[in-house]
Chain A
Amino acid sequence: MDHLTILENKSIFIIREAYSRFRNIALLWSVGKDSTTLLWLCRKAFFGHIPFPVIHIDTTYKFPEMYRFRDEYAKKWGLDLIIGRNEAQVATGMGPTEGSKLDCCNELKTNALKETIARHGFKALLLGIRRDEHGIRAKERVFSPRDENFKWNYEDQPAELWDQFKSTTEEDNHFRIHPILHMTELDIWNYIKRENIPVTDLYFSKEGRRYRSIGCVPCCSPVESKASSLDEIIEELRTTNTSERAGRAQDKEDAYTMQKLRSLGYM
């Protein structure tokens, strides 16, 4: 079997395993390349129709291309789409310039997701995170418990040897399940190419810049790149040594720094 098929089989195994253990499960779809790949794998795992809801957390600050893409494919693929939005905060005008960027993320992303989980009583979520994205994610498990405050205790996790996944946890907790944890950024692009999975145009270079990771407009910066096709992206990733989330991690650090400086009267 070739490399991509081995990865695909592993992901499909995890997705089916998760669905058989938790019927009250949903897929978290950010509309980015990773969660769209995960969505594709879920469709494959259940022969074209995903038997559980797909959640999109809408901060109202996403790229217009992302909203168009979401609505087009939700319809085309017959998704049971749940849009989670922290309406109370949106109404107060919460945003990255109102309050801090950290508050914005916390209200419009984390709390919106908390509300959505609580409203539907989901016991598990499928997420498209990958181990190579960030140092801390190297410690992630495929089946990863979270407590009621969304806290992840990475020092207290079950071992996952020989694909034995632990799926019981205390009341009020939920599981995060990571079917593409073992894929790298390059695997994802190779797989997108092989399967011809649609992704938004934001990933392709325009005027010398492209987005390597997408989220909310105010907090994403494009990287310098001439890669305007799948092949060129794959070639670029083979040779790059900057990190995928460089633009986004920097942004969070800057937001923290700004908040700290402000508290001491600077700025």
Chain B
Amino acid sequence: MTSTGAEQKVFVIGIDGLPCTLMKEYVGRGLLPNISSIIESGFTLNQMDASIPDVSSTSWTSFMTGVNPGEHGIYGFMELREGSYKLSFPTFDDVKAPTVWEMLGNTVGAKTSSLYERRRGGINRAVRSIVLNIPQTFPARPLNGVLTAGFVCPDFKKGTYPDSAYSYLNSIGYLPDIDATKAVDKPEEFFNDAFFALEKRAQAFEHYLEDEEWGLFIGVITETDRIHHFFFDAATNPSHRYHDRFVSFYRKMDEAIGRLFERFMSITNGKGFFMTMSDHGFTPIRKEVYVNTWLRESGFLSLNARNEYYEQVERGSMAFAMDPARIYINIEGRYPSGSVKEIDRAKTAQEIKSRLESMTDVDGSPIIKKVYENGELYSGPAKGKGPDLVCVANDGYDLKGNLKKNEVFGVSLFRGMHTRHDAHCILPSNVKTPQRVHIEHLADLILDNFSGL
């Protein structure tokens, strides 16, 4: 088998933050005719679990490596530098497990993972990949193929490999990201930018689909997530001022997906493996919940407002939270003002956990669906880097790690929040999946298509 066998191809369209329930509703209402006809031609729309925490950086890394954060090491967009309270921003260089395209392109290097150990002997290692716009892939590393990084991409050139891909993408006006701040004061412009970015992504996808050699193609659309953050309340409310814009974005995306699907199927004589998937779902926000303020009010945290960010954590603090709701026990020896002895760590975590679980809104509604302990979620060499506790909230309560809020509850400009349980994937109906699909399963399904040496 060669890497470029016409039929041995996998095409994945990632749609950031697209909830299964919304997809189902829009399909039911006939708003997405192309996706409907894809499903009718032998595909199934599945509700899927995202990673915990359900942020893009973590969830996309789980998708591309097929392993849990305890192995890949990405727990969020922010971390603290070892032995300090200083913020750092994990990049692709901090992803400890190999991605599917690295496994297939023989560019794994010194990395390994449970998935790789299990599959390495049985997969074709000469497959060329096109990887467009997956979050957490900056800076681009050389691969067998083409990659341009998704969110966050602070330097388009450094985020793209090889240079010729940068030149091409730049020449068509491709945008790594749009300016989300416009959503608030210039919503029309924001939508225009989102449409423009979508058009450019589709143009780039088509170009690489047709004009490059490849076996694995993953292309991600980010703008859904951006629109959802600011306008999710418009999704199913026809009287919302931006409902039509919201729906027309979906229609345009549906058209592009239909076109790409057709091209892909004609290249592969109808035998290629096609999937769409999202990294988490979305639901409307009732309230934002500031976990650090709650920790403060509950006596677990004290802050010195003269400092910045986590350098505010004062001696005597037992725990602090990082976005969205990762709780770290302030361990002695691990942090400069660490105040909990290792021996008391589990006890402190238990105490915080039980207090969190009984947290309610003013009307008595429970806020927290479940508080997970590190060991319930994570396993692998990067487990120790992970939070002690992670909360998953009930829909409507958006947990935040903000350090500057005086009240536990608040509202802001955001109208949509991520959900863990309502990501989606559309898979060929004949593919065997577990009862409940988890985002970590998808890499394995991709590799199944490239078995044999």
Contact = CB atoms under 8 A, between A and B. Distances in A.
B400 A265 contact: yes
Interface string B344-380: 0000000000000000000000000000000000000
Contacts of A264: 180, 226, 229
30 contacts: A97-B308, A135-B157, A253-B154, A253-B155, A254-B87, A254-B88, A254-B89, A256-B154, A257-B77, A257-B89, A257-B152, A258-B87, A260-B152, A260-B177, A260-B180, A261-B77, A261-B78, A261-B152, A263-B180, A263-B181, A265-B229, A265-B400, A265-B412, A265-B413, A265-B414, A266-B77, A266-B78, A266-B401, A267-B78, A267-B401
Contacts of A253: 89, 154-155
Contacts of B87: 254, 258
Interface string B168-202: 00000000010111000000000000000000000
Contacts of A261: 77-78, 152
A23 interface: no
B179 A263 contact: yes
Contacts of B151: 260
Contacts of B154: 252-253, 256-257
B323 interface: yes
B106 interface: no
B184 to A, nearest CB: 9
A130 B252 CA distance: 47
B402 interface: yes
A264 B400 CA distance: 12
Interface of B: 77-78, 87-89, 151-152, 154-155, 157, 177, 179-181, 226, 229, 308-309, 323-324, 400-402, 412-414
Contacts of A97: 308
B187 to A, nearest CB: 14
Nearest to B288: A265
A266 B229 contact: no
A254 B229 CA distance: 22
Contacts of A257: 77, 89, 152, 154
A265 B288 CA distance: 10
Contacts of B152: 256-257, 260-261
A267 B402 contact: yes
Contacts of A266: 77-78, 323-324, 401
Contacts of B88: 254
A257 B94 CA distance: 15
A260 B138 CA distance: 14
Interface string A228-267: 0000000000000000000000001110111011011111
Nearest to B308: A97
Chain B at the A interface: SS class: loop
Contacts of A258: 87, 89
Contacts of B412: 265
A252 to B, nearest CB: 7
Contacts of B157: 135-136
A113 B400 CA distance: 40
A254 B77 CA distance: 11
Contacts of B226: 264
Given A257-B152, A258-B89, A265-B229, 11 more contacts: A252-B154, A253-B155, A254-B87, A260-B152, A263-B180, A264-B180, A264-B226, A265-B400, A265-B412, A265-B413, A267-B401
The 7 closest A-B pairs by CB, nearest first: A256-B154, A253-B154, A263-B180, A257-B152, A257-B89, A263-B181, A266-B323
Contacts of B89: 253-254, 257-258
A254 B323 CA distance: 17
A259 B48 CA distance: 31
Contacts of B77: 257, 261, 266
Nearest to B417: A265
Contacts of A265: 229, 400, 412-414
A20 to B, nearest CB: 36
Q: Could you say which of B155, B412, B414 has the most chain A C-beta atoms within 10 Å of its C-beta?
A: B155
Contacts of A256: 152, 154
A80 B157 CA distance: 40
B387 to A, nearest CB: 15
A101 B152 CA distance: 17
Contacts of A263: 179-181
A97 B89 CA distance: 17
Nearest to B151: A260
A256 B157 CA distance: 15
A97 B306 CA distance: 12
Contacts of B229: 264-265
A169 to B, nearest CB: 24
Interface string A102-138: 0000000000000000000000000000000001100
A217 B89 CA distance: 21
B155 A267 contact: no
A155 B38 CA distance: 44
A214 B77 CA distance: 28
B323 A267 contact: yes
Contacts of A260: 151-152, 177, 180
A258 B413 CA distance: 18
Nearest to A254: B89
Nearest to A97: B308
A43 B78 CA distance: 48
Nearest to B56: A264
A266 B179 CA distance: 15
A253 B87 CA distance: 13
B289 to A, nearest CB: 13
A249 to B, nearest CB: 8
Contacts of B414: 265
Contacts of B155: 253
Nearest to A266: B323
A117 B155 CA distance: 29
A97 B308 CA distance: 9
B162 to A, nearest CB: 14
Nearest to B180: A263
Nearest to A263: B180
B106 to A, nearest CB: 25
A260 B177 CA distance: 10
> Which of A252, A256, A261: most chain B Cβ within 10 A?
A261
Contacts of A136: 157
Contacts of B308: 97
